Amino acid sequence: MELLDKLNILADAAKYDAACTSSGLDRSGRPGAIGSTTLAGCCHSFSADGRCVTLLKVLQTNVCVYDCQYCVNRRSNDVPRAAFTPEELCELTIGFYRRNYIEGLFLSSAVVRSPDYTTELMIRTLRILRETHRFGGYIHAKAIPGADPLLTRQLGLLADRLSVNIELPSSSSLALLAPDKKKEAILTPMGQIRDGISASKQEIAVYRHAPRFAPAGQSTQMIVGATPESDRHILTLTQALYDRYQLKRVFYSAYMPVSSSPLLPVAEGFRPPLLREHRLYQADWLLRYYHFRAEEILDESQPDLDPRMDPKCCWALRHLDFFPIEVNRADYEALLRVPGLGVRSAKRILRARRVGALNFEGLKRLGVVLKRAQYFLTCSGRMMAGLRVNEDGLLRHLVSLEAPALAEPAPEQLSLFDSAV
């Protein structure tokens, strides 16, 4: 099979892996080497739905021994199969890099023969890139659950970031749709990677030239909409993953119908839940940067996120007794709870009010966007002039602010090889 044909098959098969993230790593180029990566991220170009397209995102192979019902590469699916040799994949990566098409590699794989054999193939590929071609660009590799821990460690010493896909939000769904996979087999390498990263940081503190293990951390991905779990269940799981495994990111992937299995939603007329995916990312942001806990965002009485507005606005409407917040006295934690105030705006307010009392004009000059925040703030004990607030009116206004963004285009997965129109 020609190399271009393999690329066509394996790049298309990899498009369901979420990888829209900055590198989280700063490494300058070295004399005689090729490539570098910056802390701001190797992902500079994004599609309309937020997915990054500047990594070469590809599978080592789509030949798989597993038969996961939600996966396009499952054993029982009649699709073209291909596999890169390590040398072929390195040739492609270096060629694309030299042409400035990409700034890094996102390497995943179906499980061919066994987890150990698949991981060995990926290690050979990355070793040729790093040692033969001296490639210093960003590499994100998918660790294979069930592989020998020594192989996972070798993979982490060659890659900048590792990820282990948790796949589905519950053990029961995993047992139903992916009976070959076990929750314990997924969580075990997560724990190993966490411990490896921690040990690596301690070694580097003693000897700065010590080998770095997954210096950009680890992440995971779960499919949303293929199974009946609530948003509350998903966010509770996400919170536990952040707490226990120190993940950099949890990615959510709206289920795209790739199977006619009776265990999955009927493909005909099914709309991938992209808005739900978007709300989960917003809630995830609250967990990581705004010091919220999963149990604050959703509870038993409201197990799912409101599609009409972002989760922070929903929380504020349920806790109107917490507001209004006095800008000139509120602490950082309280400011982060105000809809429309982000981390940067909260820090600017804290710095500016050391000089003098702030008013609403002063907030505008600081770059604070008030179209949401004005309803939840006071300056020197006063609301914004002419503003009247009641719960129903506030709900209508917040929903109306989101309305233009809710007009969804038809969902479409990206491909490197879209058909010419």
Q: State the pLDDT at residue 145.
A: 94
What are 191's two structure tokens? 């724990």
One-character DSSP codes across 256-279: ------TTS--STT----HHHHHH
**How high is the pLDDT of residue 148?**
95
The residues near 105 (Cβ < 8 Å, ≥ 6 apart) are 55, 56, 58, 93, 129, 137, 138, 139, 140
What confidence score (pLDDT) does residue 259 get? 82
Instruction: Give me the pLDDT at residue 40, please.
Output: 35
Residues of CATH 3.20.20 domain(s) within the chain?
3-220
Could you please report the per-residue DSSP string of 368-385? --HHHHGGGEEBTTBPPT
Query: Which pLDDT does position 386 carry in this prediction?
Result: 80
Residue 14: predicted pLDDT = 81
* Secondary structure element (H or E) that encloses residue 282, with its range: helix 274-289
For every residue of 298-309, DSSP letters joined together read -BTTB-S--TTS
CATH class of the structural domain 3-220: alpha beta
CA distances from 72 to 76, 81, 93, 185 (A): 9, 11, 24, 21
**Residue for token pair 């804290």:** 350
Identify residue 238 by its one-letter amino acid code.
T
Long-range contacts of 291-296 (CB under 8 A, 24+ apart): 291/333, 291/336, 293/239, 294/232, 294/235, 294/236, 294/238, 294/239, 295/236
Structural Rg of the chain based on CA atoms: 24
What pLDDT does residue 43 have? 39
Residue-level pLDDT at 388 = 77
DSSP-derived 3-state class of residue 317? helix
For residue 234, give Cα distances in angstroms to 83, 299, 307. 34, 12, 16
Residue pointed to by tokens 């896909």: 165
pLDDT of residue 51: 39
* Cα–Cα distance for residue pair 249/333, rounded to 1 Å: 22
Return the structure tokens found at 156. 């982490």
pLDDT in tens, the chain (421 residues): 788 888 888 888 887 776 555 444 555 556 666 555 443 333 343 333 443 447 788 899 999 999 999 998 999 988 899 999 999 999 999 998 898 888 888 999 999 999 999 999 999 999 999 999 999 888 999 999 999 999 999 999 999 999 999 999 999 999 999 999 999 999 999 999 999 999 999 999 999 889 999 998 999 999 999 999 999 999 999 999 999 999 999 999 999 888 888 888 887 788 889 999 999 999 999 999 999 999 999 999 999 999 999 999 999 999 999 999 999 999 999 999 999 999 999 999 999 999 999 999 999 999 999 999 999 999 999 988 888 777 788 888 888 888 776 665 555 555 555 554 4
Instruction: Give the model's pLDDT for residue 420.
Output: 47
Check if the beta carbon of residue 275 is closer than 8 Å to that of residue 408. Answer: yes
3-state secondary structure at position 411: coil
Residue 336, classified by CB atoms within 10 Å of its CB into exposed (0-12), middle (13-18) or buried (19+), is buried
Sign of dihedral through CA atoms 104, 212, 165, 110? positive
pLDDT value of residue 387: 80
